[in-house]
């Protein structure tokens, strides 16, 4: 399937800030940074770095090269299309630049240049760019990409005059992008441009205030203040007595949709959470928690299905949001006619969404869900992993917390949090 030139909406450009203008022009003749090989734009969300980077990259590639190949990469093809390709095509429409987008082969052609799309979410991702000779690359959300992929891309950009553009929100201080590139900018030929929300002139004070309310803890430090800080201590430090309820609303059945979130386990505990969601507020009203180690016996998939059906009763949920690794249990549930949705297991983004829901007061847990309350309170960052540059929760007493994360990341939309 191909999309030809000048179809769809055009991008509406707004005045650029000083920082955005730096990003737009860093590679041009006369710039003090023209000798740099890499430009990394990091900082707060909604700070205007992606818009300026797309425009800069397009002008760089079209003004400096003809008949060359380029790399466009994101953590997945789907995310890349949403974050990068859609606004890029709208910019091309606004400028009247002819293009052709082959959606099946993931190739964008502008003039005589070809732009190849890649997803980079695991160590094997580096294999897909091997053998390429590129004149440049644009890496969206580079901090979420494996180091092996980024290094492979740098090696592929071997044409004279090639440059690599990266944007990201900050991660931890031991992340390779911070330690190997930003902290060694001069030696590595890196231009580091740090963005704050004030660098996006289109954001109103009301919108900025809303984002300040949405994030807490390490996510506030990174996504709002744009700092590379370590995740440590209790993850949900915003969880307190105000997040626990004793009574349920009278309109629970009519105003809320029902979901069951499940973290499946045989040797580990198996958890079902009965969650009601209005599109704004989420209420955890009941839990099922079976710990085979404590009970000294394991249950079969069929027994878990029977437990699930007793837990559901006669009010079938919109979906059972299931641990994506529970393949056999998923099959068993579907054979019994239940609608099962495989959970989005993006750990850090899921944690961020749970934290935002708690911080905004939009996630409440009934007091009878004692196991979930205990786990949420005890959910901590793995500090040893953080010092290795890997960010993850400590894998202890986290099964109900994982199920809660599955629900928020899979069902709740980011736009519902602002």
Give the residue extent of every domain in the chain. Answer: 2-203, 241-413
The yes/no answer on whether domain 2-203 falls in CATH 3.40.140.10 is no
CB 136 within 8 A of CB 71: yes
CB 148 within 8 A of CB 126: yes
| CB-based burial, 330-354: b 16+ in 10 Å, e otherwise | bebbeeeebebbbbbebebebbbbb
CB 316 within 8 A of CB 256: no
Q: Dump pLDDT digits (tens) for 279-301.
A: 999 999 999 999 998 899 999 99
Q: Dump pLDDT digits (tens) for 241-266.
A: 999 999 999 999 999 999 999 999 98
C-alpha neighbours within 13 Å on the C-beta side of residue 269: 21
Dihedral of the CA atoms 347, 349, 351, 354 (nearest 10)? -140
Read off the DSSP letter of residue 123.
G
Q: Strand ranges (DSSP E) for 144-281?
A: 163-168, 190-195, 244-245, 257-263, 270-277
Among 411, 344, 351, which Cα is nearest to 380's? 351
Give the phi and the psi of residue 261 in degrees, each rounded to 5: -100, 135
Give the C-alpha separation, 338 to 319, whole Å.
8
Residue ranges, the chain, pLDDT below 70: 1-8, 418
Q: What's the fold here for domain 241-413?
A: Nucleotidyltransferase; domain 5 (3.30.420)
CA dihedral sign of residues 110, 112, 113, 119: positive
Q: What is the pTM for the complete model shown?
A: 0.80
Distance of CA 9 to the CA centre of its chain: 26
| CB-based burial, 264-283: b 16+ in 10 Å, e otherwise | bbeeebbbbbbbbbeeebbb
Q: Is 213 helix (H, G, I), strand (E, B) or coil?
A: helix
Computed over every residue of the chain, the mean pLDDT equals: 93
Dihedral of the CA atoms 133, 27, 84, 159 (nearest 10)? 0
How many other β-carbons are positioned within 10 Å of the β-carbon of residue 316? 14
Q: Dump pLDDT digits (tens) for 360-417.
A: 999 999 999 999 999 999 999 988 887 787 788 988 889 999 999 999 999 998 877 7
Q: What is the predicted pLDDT for the residue at 7? A: 54
Q: What is the predicted pLDDT for the residue at 122? A: 84
Q: What is the predicted pLDDT for the residue at 397? A: 84
């Amino acid at each position: 399937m191909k999309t030809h030139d000048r179809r769809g909406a055009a991008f509406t450009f707004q005045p650029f800030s000083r920082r955005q203008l730096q990003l737009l022009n860093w590679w041009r003749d006369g710039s003090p940074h023209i000798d740099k090989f890499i430009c990394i734009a990091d900082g707060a969300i909604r700070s205007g770095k992606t818009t300026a980077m797309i425009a800069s990259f397009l002008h760089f590639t079209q003004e400096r090269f003809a008949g060359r190949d380029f790399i466009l990469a994101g953590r997945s093809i789907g995310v890349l299309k949403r974050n990068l390709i859609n606004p890029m095509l709208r910019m091309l429409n606004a400028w009247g630049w002819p293009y052709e987008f082959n959606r099946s082969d993931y190739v964008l052609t502008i003039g005589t240049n070809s732009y190849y799309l890649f997803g980079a979410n695991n160590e094997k991702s580096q294999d897909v760019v091997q053998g390429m000779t590129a004149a440049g690359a644009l890496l969206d959300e580079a901090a979420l990409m494996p180091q092996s992929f980024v290094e492979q891309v740098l090696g592929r950009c071997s044409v004279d005059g090639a440059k690599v553009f990266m944007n990201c929100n900050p991660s931890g201080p031991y992340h390779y992008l911070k330690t190997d590139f930003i902290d060694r900018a001069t030696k590595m030929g890196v231009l580091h441009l740090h963005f704050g929300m004030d660098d996006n002139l289109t954001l109103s004070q009301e919108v900025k205030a809303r984002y300040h309310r949405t994030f807490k803890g390490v996510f506030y430090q990174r996504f709002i203040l744009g700092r590379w800080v370590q995740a440590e201590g209790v993850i949900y430090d915003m969880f307190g007595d105000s997040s626990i309820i004793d009574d349920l609303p009278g309109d629970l059945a009519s105003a809320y949709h029902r979901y069951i979130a499940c973290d499946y386990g045989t040797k580990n505990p198996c958890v079902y959470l009965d969650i009601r969601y209005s599109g704004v507020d989420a209420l955890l009203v009941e839990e099922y928690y079976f710990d085979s180690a404590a009970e000294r016996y394991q249950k079969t998939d069929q027994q878990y299905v029977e437990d699930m059906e007793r837990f559901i009763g006669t009010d079938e949920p919109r979906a059972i949001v299931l641990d994506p690794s529970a393949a056999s249990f998923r099959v068993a549930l579907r054979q019994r006619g239940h609608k099962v949705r495989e959970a989005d297991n993006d750990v850090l983004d899921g944690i961020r969404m749970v934290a935002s829901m708690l911080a905004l007061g939009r996630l409440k847990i009934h007091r009878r869900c004692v196991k979930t309350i205990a786990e949420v309170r005890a959910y901590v960052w793995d500090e040893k992993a953080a010092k290795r540059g890997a960010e993850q929760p400590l894998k202890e007493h986290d099964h109900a917390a994982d199920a809660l994360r599955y629900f928020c990341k899979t069902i709740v939309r980011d736009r519902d949090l602002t």
